[in-house]
A and B are shown apart, each in its own frame.
Chain A
Amino acid sequence: MSDNYAVLATFLLAGVALAMLVLALARKQEAPKAAEPFESGSPSEHKTWVQFRVRYFLIALVFVAFDMEMVYMFPWAVVFKRVGLVAFMDMFVFIAVLAVAIAYAWKEGAFEWER
């Protein structure tokens, strides 16, 4: 197993090195005017890094919960065939509870875009 990861680590290092090499070899732009960020042809005047209102706020929260859920699903899926009906019933309850969560979030308008 660690063999596999050693190879993958080589891949990681190679990817980083490759990208850095390409960036290092790239011709740099010297004209300062060219370095102005694109904003439809006008010089940028307003603050860019603002406290942006993330409108998928609620979805982001629900997402974290479901992300966690996936962690449980994969080990379950692997042994599903071996364990059989018990695993199925188990997952049935699991998914039913999650479906309730989704339904609740849906009903409360978490998936609707705020207007």
Chain B
Amino acid sequence: MHARQAPTREMATEDLVTWFGPEHPAVSGLRLQLTLDGEQVSAAEIELGYRHRGLEKLAERGWEQAAAIASQVDPRAPHAGAAAYARAVEALAKAELSGRAARLRVAILELERAASHLAWLANLARLLEARPAARLAGHLYRRASTALALLAGAPGAQRWIVPGGVAADAPADLLRALSGVLDALRGALDGLRMDRLAERRLNGLALVDGGRALEMGAAGPVLRATGVPHDLRTSSEVYRALGFEPVLGSGGDARARYSLHVAEVGQALTLAQRALTDLPRGAVAEKVPAIGVAGLARGHAEGPRGELSATVLTDGGERPLRVAFRGPSLAHAGLLSELLVGSMLADVPLAVASLDLSMEEAER
């Protein structure tokens, strides 16, 4: 009855352009400029610069600083950064790890991965308003963090992986704590599973095509959820000895990422448990001096969000000439501008969260 007022020509409406982030309850650390046609996103631009700390420049002040800064590259995965840096220095000095130290590193990296994934699950479930699952994941995250703290100390003081090995041996009660977490996880798997309504929200959300993901330099769970078997750990002998097989998802959407994360939490905890049982004897660390060797070396670690690498260039002096870090988050953020087009505004926080961006790591 009111439609008579409508002109018979096409309906020309205006787009609503809005900022989304950096201070948004759902998206923090990056700013999106969303162009909304109705409630549907028709263009998304990413703006960075809210988490830049100039870490790489700071790392040039000395080896001690560089080692400390390596564990600050991704604040949510300090040990992965430290491991990448340690491997770079070890490659410079051509040092070998003892079997015990290698196994201990596996344990801490896997425990860190489990904790990070659980935090991701809790966050995504919270955004989905799947409150029981969010609470469960949060609870498990706290338990995993406690176990992590047993090994490496309180968060913020986590310099445990050092060039040449690890800073201290694993405490005796770590294994018990770990199996406790694992048991709790087994009991909670049902609760972590998404109900049908939540699954419908995640289905097809932030769909990443495998080929495109490779092209853009994606890594970690984002890439593996598309079915691409890319995992640094497959090339590691220690991991192979522990029976590691990468978990793969299919579909590449947020739902695939969710189930991949759930599976990887279990896998990570099991790997950590295996790594800590029957530890080979030996020293946990050797002294690996960074001063006196010149050259360029690179070290990698598979962090919770994907491959983290550290590149060290030195002339053998008291401070590195250049330390560079690289992680997958920048590539993942780059995917966003394609992923968000066509999705509803209500799905934007979910889509952003499902990529598990660490803007600290992306901007360094």
Contact = CB atoms under 8 A, between A and B. Distances in A.
Interface of A: 39-42, 44-48, 50-55, 61, 64, 113-115
Nearest to B37: A53
Contacts of A46: 16-18
Contacts of A52: 13-14, 16, 38
Given A52-B13, A61-B3, A40 B38 contact: no
B342 interface: yes
Contacts of B344: 113
A114 B12 CA distance: 16
Given A47-B17, A53-B13, 4 more contacts: A41-B23, A55-B39, A113-B344, A114-B38
Contacts of B19: 39-42, 44-45
- By secondary structure, the B interface counts as loop
Interface string B1-38: 11100000001111111111111100100010000011
Interface in B29-53: 31, 37-40
B38 A64 contact: no
Contacts of B23: 40-42
Interface of B: 1-3, 11-24, 27, 31, 37-40, 342, 344
Given A39-B19, A40-B19, A40-B21, A50 B3 contact: no
A55 B38 contact: yes
Contact of B14 (A40, A47, A114): A47
B31 A40 contact: yes
B40 A40 contact: no
Contacts of A54: 38
Closest 9 CB pairs of A and B: A41-B23, A53-B13, A50-B14, A46-B17, A55-B38, A53-B38, A42-B19, A40-B24, A51-B14
A63 to B, nearest CB: 11
B31 A115 contact: no
A41 B23 CA distance: 5
Contacts of B40: 55, 115
A48 B39 CA distance: 14
Nearest to A41: B23
Contacts of A61: 3
Contacts of B2: 64
Contact of A40 (B11, B16, B22, B39): B22
Nearest to B20: A40
Q: B11, B14, B27 — which one has the most chain A CB atoms within 10 A of its CB?
A: B14
Contact of A42 (B27, B31, B38): B31
B125 to A, nearest CB: 23
B12 A51 contact: yes
A46 B19 CA distance: 9
B1 A41 contact: no
Nearest to B23: A41
A27 B22 CA distance: 30
A41 B38 contact: no
